[in-house]
Structure 1
Amino acid sequence: MQIGDKVPQFSLLDQNGTKRSNNGLKTPLVLFFYPKDDTPGCTIEVCGFRDKYDLFKVLGAQVWGVSNGSSSSHLAFANKNKLQYPLLCDKNDSLRKAFKVPKVLGLLDGRVTYVIDRNGFVKHIFRDLLNGPEHIKEAIRVLKEIQNQ
């Protein structure tokens, strides 16, 4: 997946068993892939998106997290951290593969954030395994640019 690419159609269940699909989505979407529930770096990242969630709403965007954790793992993680947005269950890594999210050192699931415009095109990709907070800053910066176009 590269900037300018049309995002493939996808549909996954979230932590509450609700089916989430990009089919017909008419708002920008911040789709962030994170390695694992309840790890220090991932907790910092998801809480960063939580803390700026109202700003994402003001910018007209939805925020969805994605990892291969189970719905029960995602639900416990979301409840523990009081997340207001869905965590998608990518159990067989199908969405991760569709977006070509790389593994780090061939072992660790990568941390990549995609900003997708309301027409379903990738506007920005940010890859950084170690700096979760920068993912939030980059997404906000790009959403502001999209809003001003």
Structure 2
Amino acid sequence: MAKSPVVGATAPDFTLPAVQLVDGAAVRSELTLSEQRGRPLVLAFYPGDDTPVCTKQLCSYSSGLEEFTELGATVWGISTQDVESHEAFARKHGLRMPLLADTGRTAATAYGITLGAMVRRSVFVVDAEGVLRWKHVAALGLTFRDVATLTEQLALLNEGR
């Protein structure tokens, strides 16, 4: 397992296929971390589509999306399932953020969160310049960082500007 990047380091770059529901249509694209410079980004790595904790986590982030956008931030959900799985998951639960398909586990490996065949539930906050400013890597992944915790970290970024 690669080591997780340290807070204060440049966030590892990656490009992954993604899907996002926009007015009921599934919009597919490729998203690249380094192309998001200029605004903070929350990277929410989760073990699997439609599993109980992951569903609760992603639904809470989707429900709280305005709290993130009010702080100028974008949220990406990332797991190892393919785009088709992500689209079905997003449609079933009305998820509004992009879901990225890390089928080759390249991003998960770069962030040091692989554990055997699994990916640890992890959240990384990247600032507008592409620097990792906060992270949480779960030992077991039975819980997740809530919207209030993440928006608190984003608010601290805004105070530091």
- TM-score bracket, normalised by the shorter chain, equals over 0.9
For 1:4 and 1:135, how far apart are their aligned partners in 2? Answer: 22
Asked whether the equivalents of residues 10 and 131 of structure 2 are also in contact (C-alpha less than 8 Å), the reply is: yes
1:39 equivalenced with 2:51 (yes/no):
yes
Any gaps of 5 or more consecutive residues in structure 2?
Answer: 20-26
Q: Report if the CA contact (8 A) 1:126-1:138 is conserved.
A: no
Matched with 2:151 is 140
Alignment partner of 1:115 is 2:119: no
Mapped contact 1:114–1:122 kept (Cα < 8 A): yes
2:15 paired with 1:11: yes
TM-aligned CA deviation for residue 135 of structure 1: 4.1
Per the TM alignment, residue 9 of structure 1 is displaced from its structure 2 partner at its CA by 2.2
Q: Give 1 or 2: higher strand fraction.
A: 2
SS of 1:60's partner is coil
Question: What residue number does 2:134 align with?
Answer: 124
Shift of 1:107: 5.0
Tell me the alpha carbon deviations over residues 22-80 of structure 1, each in whole angstroms, 9 at most, x when there is no partner: 22321100001000000000000001101110010000000001001011100000111
Superposition TM-score, scaled by structure 1 size: 0.92
Which ranges of structure 1 fall in alignment gaps of 5 or more residues? none
